[in-house]
Amino acid sequence: MLGCLFVPSNNEEQAINVDLQTDAALQVDISDALSERDKVKFTVHTKSSLPNFKQNEFSVVRQHEEFIWLHDSFVENEDYAGYIIPPAPPRPDFDASREKLQKLGEGEGSMTKEEFTKMKQELEAEYLAIFKKTVAMHEVFLCRVAAHPILRKDLNFHVFLEYNQDLSVRGKNKKEKLEDFFKNMVKSADGVIVSGVKDVDDFFEHERTFLVEYHNRVKDASAKSDKMTRSHKNVADDYNRIGSSLYTLGTKVEVQLYCHIPLFYFSQQKIEARVSADEDLKLSDLLKYYLRESQAAKDLLYRRSRSLVDYENANKALDKARAKNKDVLQAETTQQLCCQKFEKISESAKQELIDFKTRRVAAFRKNLVELAELELKHAKVTGIYFCFHFRQLLFHRIIEVGLEGTL
């Protein structure tokens, strides 16, 4: 069982992929997290000056399922149909990491003690990195909700933040999961039908075309970025192995002479590993996040198109009713409702999509700048390591000459 306590430093870890205004009225963060065998417990910490809460500052412990419950409650709420619902955080997945640690434990006998300790350290670092990421993802979700002018007032959200007992939200059982699956199928089929309807409004027509293409390309870029960072990790592991081999070669066969070369390879490896991890955070996570957000934006457009279709259908029904002079009042009310719903959604959707663009541009900017700065730092550090070890080589040349002289 691996238990690790994690205290994120608020300024850095928060808002990794989203640039959010922190607002005195409501500030939410994850101050602590504990990983137990198969679940992660997040300590959600709130600071608020709003009158809705009993205290100004308080904390509760929440698990992943409760986050999902909150997200789903937003999606199912008709009143929020006109907003981009912040995407739910992905499930914490330590399976791969745990498996690797287990394999390492089994293979302990077949490698040297140094190799084993090294690999163990690395796997633990990997585990910690995944842990940090999942905490960040959950935090970003909460922050997005807290920053949204309407969603932050949601009652379920307040309960989530304040109620210090277990919300008794269980994960979906098989039947419910199957229902979800069918719902999704119907939705995507419907989405296809609905998207066939051309929009009168230029803004939304453009947004739809843009979002569909963007979403696909982000998906592709995200997958390729993942592969690239994994390759980087493989290369780093290779450096590690080569370093150990050179070290053994150096110590057994030629004492001292090769020490610096293996040390150099080790340091190279650490740098490569860090580059890979940073690329991972900056690039891959960013792309993954916007994959989910662009999906949420697409969902908004779908809901709007749906309501537009409903509105047009209601119009047709009204015309028919007037022609037949039957149930006219009912048709009128339906049509009015549809009209209101459609206009409400359209209005808020426009603003949401503009905000989405602003957020996206800001997040990309922040991450790309940080990525470039990190890469620069690494390149320079490698240069320094190189210079240092190169210098050592030169230095040892002198020693060797002395050695030959005394023989």
> Which one of 2-10, 49-57, 165-173, 394-402 is the stretch in contact with other proteins (CB under 8 A)?
394-402
| Of the candidate residues 188, 245, 340, 351, the single one contacting other proteins (CB under 8 A) | 245
As a whole number of angstroms, the distance between CA 155 and CA 164 comes to 15
Q: Helix H segments across 253-284?
A: 260-279
Residue where the block lists tokens 């960013």: 286
Identified binder of other proteins from the candidate list 129, 214, 299, 317, rule CB under 8 A: 214
β-strand partners of 58: 46
Does residue 217 bind other proteins (CB under 8 A)?
A: yes
- Distant-in-sequence contacts of 217-225, Cβ < 8 A, 24+ apart: 218/287, 218/290, 218/291, 218/294, 219/291, 221/287, 222/284, 222/287, 222/288, 222/291, 225/279, 225/283, 225/284, 225/287
Q: Residues in the chain, how many?
A: 407
Binding residues among 358-377 for other proteins as defined by CB under 8 A? 360-361, 364-365, 368-369, 371-373, 375-376
Which residues ranging from 310 to 369 are in contact with other proteins (CB under 8 A)?
357, 360-361, 364-365, 368-369
Nearer to other proteins, 146 or 261 (CB): 261
Question: 72 to 131, contacts with other proteins by CB under 8 A?
Answer: none
396 binds other proteins per the rule CB under 8 A:
yes
91, 177, 227, 324: which one binds other proteins (CB under 8 A): 227
Q: Within 249-288, which residues bind other proteins (CB under 8 A)?
A: 249, 252-261, 263-264
Contacts of 156 (CB under 8 A, 6+ apart): 70, 73, 74
Instruction: Say how far residue 355 (Cα) sits from the centre of its chain.
Output: 19
- What b/e sequence results for 148-165 when a residue is b if at least 16 CB atoms lie within 10 Å of its CB, and e otherwise? beebbebeebbebbbeee
Does 185 contact other proteins by CB under 8 A? no
Per CB under 8 A, 379 contacts other proteins: yes
Cβ at position 233, least distance to other proteins in Å: 9
The residue range among 138-146, 214-222, 299-307, 314-322 that interacts with other proteins, by the rule CB under 8 A, is 214-222
